[in-house]
Amino acid sequence: MPTVLKLIAGLGNPGPQYAHTRHNVGADWVRELARAFQIPLTLDTKFKAEIGRGSVLGRDVRLLIPVTYMNHSGDAIGAVAHFYKWSPEQILVAHDEVAFAPGTVRLKNGGGENGHNGLKSVRARLANQDGYNRLRIGVGHPGNKSQVNYYLTQQTPTQDERASVAAAGQLPDDILRDMLAGNWQSAMTALHTPEKHEAPSVANDAVTTGPIDQQQNSGESDGI
């Protein structure tokens, strides 16, 4: 039986200086989801997050945005999962992905973090289990790993790039409905269809192997 989603979390860094940066596209996606389905997000200091509960396409779900820095994202997600006794499979984490161009969005079940310290924190706080689901929102790569920190956390994307990323994140209801219901193969097939998106279907993602893994890796002290 499919495992329905109970928690959708979006990763980012807190504070106005990060509000429009590429590293915050996961948090932006969840905030837009909350707006679209009229789910108020309120600060819960116990969980170190903004959190709200409501109905998304008829499914009862909680939306969450950690208020810690990226490399401590798992504190909030782990605390909520532990409190409600949810398994990693009941969680979806939306985050930035340098392996994909802006405007490309992919789903992934489990697997490695490819140097993303937010995901490393999530895994650590889920008792080192990697079975949670990911919505990978492409932001592109600066071309040099030494520039990744600045590119993700300080450089403001162009208006066209932001529009492309936002448009890609507006998932059709049928895909979102499958995601909520845990019908991941159906959601992946629809989302990864070449006619609708730039890249071919990738089941559990061999795309992010090789040099890009190293390019993504940067220091936790920088909130990456």
| Catalytic residue positions, numbered | 23
CA angle 156, 154, 123 (to 5 degrees): 110
Q: Which residue has the tokens 């992934």?
A: 108
What gap in Å lies between CA 21 and CA 18, rounded to an integer? 5
Q: Give me the helix-helix angle, 73-84 and 117-125, nearest 10°.
A: 30
Q: Which stretches of the chain are assigned E, i.e. beta strand? A: 7-10, 42-44, 49-56, 59-66, 91-97, 105-109, 133-138
Tokens of 183: 């019908």
Tokens of 87: 């398994």
By three-state DSSP, how is residue 80 classified? helix
By three-state DSSP, how is residue 125 classified? helix
